[in-house]
């Protein structure tokens, strides 16, 4: 799927660079308040008039960790979204929740998950038996291509018992 969308963007003239990080943003010559160039980890310097930043894939778990909660790629929770402390629940991007259908911990970074998990968390808080069983879902529309994606991929070569 990633290749399909990468090709789509390249077909539209996008210069897509994977495995390349931004190491610095340099100010414009004569105007330190404006960006002038972006430096990349491969040594490339790209001139820029406008820079748009789209980031956010690392869960912010410092508060949870400092509280002594179990943390591993997000805050570890069970199917009921309860953390290692019975009085604390976690939902959304930051929650690495046990998924009873997929039978493994899973952290999902999509809007639909952030919408539905809090309902389960609220039910759990109210003492009602609750379990987050929805499969991950997201959609995207890029140029004329739309995609809806349900469930989650497993790495090539992995088998599930
Ligand atoms: C660039 C980008 C594009 C995306 N595009 C899509 C998309 O097209 N489709 C889609 O489905 N999803 C998309 N997502 C994912 C979607 O935005 C998230 O899944 C969703 O916002 C998660 O909601 P959340 O409430 O779990 O977390 P967040 O929206 O991240 O909210 C967590 C909040 O907690 C606050 N916080 C963190 N630590 C503390 C603390 N110690 N004390 C107090 N507050 C704290 C943060 O400041 C933040 O406001 C995108 C995300 C990014 C970054």
pLDDT digits (tens, 9 = 90+) for 104-148: 999 999 999 999 999 999 999 999 999 999 999 999 999 999 999
Is pLDDT of 14 > 90? yes
**Nearest of 91, 72, 89 to residue 127 by alpha carbon:** 89
* pTM of the full structure: 0.84
Helix H, strand E, coil C: the string for the chain is: CHHHHHHHHHHCCCCCCCCCCEEEEEEECCEEEEEEEEEECCCCEEECCCCCCCCCCCCCCHHHHHCCCCECCCEEECCCCECCCCCCECCHHHEEEEECCCCEEEECCCHHHHHHHHHHHHHHHCCCCCCCCCCCEEEEEECCEEEEEECCCCCCCCCCC
Tokens of 2: 């990633």
99 and 92 Cβ atoms separated by less than 8 Å: no
* Ligand 1 neighbour 114 (Cβ under 6 A): yes
Among protein residues, the one whose CA lies closest to atom 23 of ligand 1? 114
Which numeric CATH code is attached to 62-139? 3.50.50.60
Residues of the chain within CATH 3.50.50.60 domain(s) are 62-139
Ligand 1 centroid from CA 93, angstroms: 6
Is residue 158 scored above 80 in pLDDT? no
Please determine, for residue 159, whether its predicted confidence score (pLDDT) is greater than 70: no
Paired sense of beta strands 137-142 and 22-28, if any: unpaired
Cβ burial of 141 (10 Å; 0-12, 13-18, 19+) is: exposed
Instruction: Supply the residue whose CA is at minimum distance from atom 35 of ligand 1.
Output: 60
Whether 67 is in the pocket of ligand 1, judged by its Cβ within 6 Å, is no
CA 156 to chain centre: 20
Nearest CA to ligand 1 atom 48: 60
Q: How far is the CA of 120 from the centre of ligand 1 (A)?
A: 18
Q: What is d(CA 44, CA 61) in angstroms, rounded to the nearest whole number?
A: 33
- Residue bearing the bigger pLDDT, 158 or 101: 101
């Amino acid at each position: 799927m990633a290749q399909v969308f990468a090709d789509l963007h390249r077909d539209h003239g996008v210069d897509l660079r994977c495995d390349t990080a931004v190491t610095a943003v340099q100010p414009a010559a004569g105007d330190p308040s404006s960006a002038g160039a972006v430096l990349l980890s491969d040594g490339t310097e790209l001139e820029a008039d406008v820079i748009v930043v789209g980031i956010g894939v690392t869960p912010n778990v410092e508060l949870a960790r400092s509280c002594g909660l179990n943390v591993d790629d997000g805050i570890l929770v069970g199917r009921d979204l309860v953390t290692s402390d019975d009085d604390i629940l976690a939902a959304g991007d930051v929650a690495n929740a046990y998924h009873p259908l997929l039978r493994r911990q899973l952290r999902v970074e999509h809007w639909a998950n952030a919408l539905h998990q809090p309902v389960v968390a609220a039910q759990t808080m109210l003492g009602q038996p609750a379990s987050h069983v929805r499969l991950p879902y997201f959609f995207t529309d890029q140029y004329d291509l739309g995609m809806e994606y349900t469930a989650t991929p497993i790495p090539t070569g992995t088998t599930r018992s």
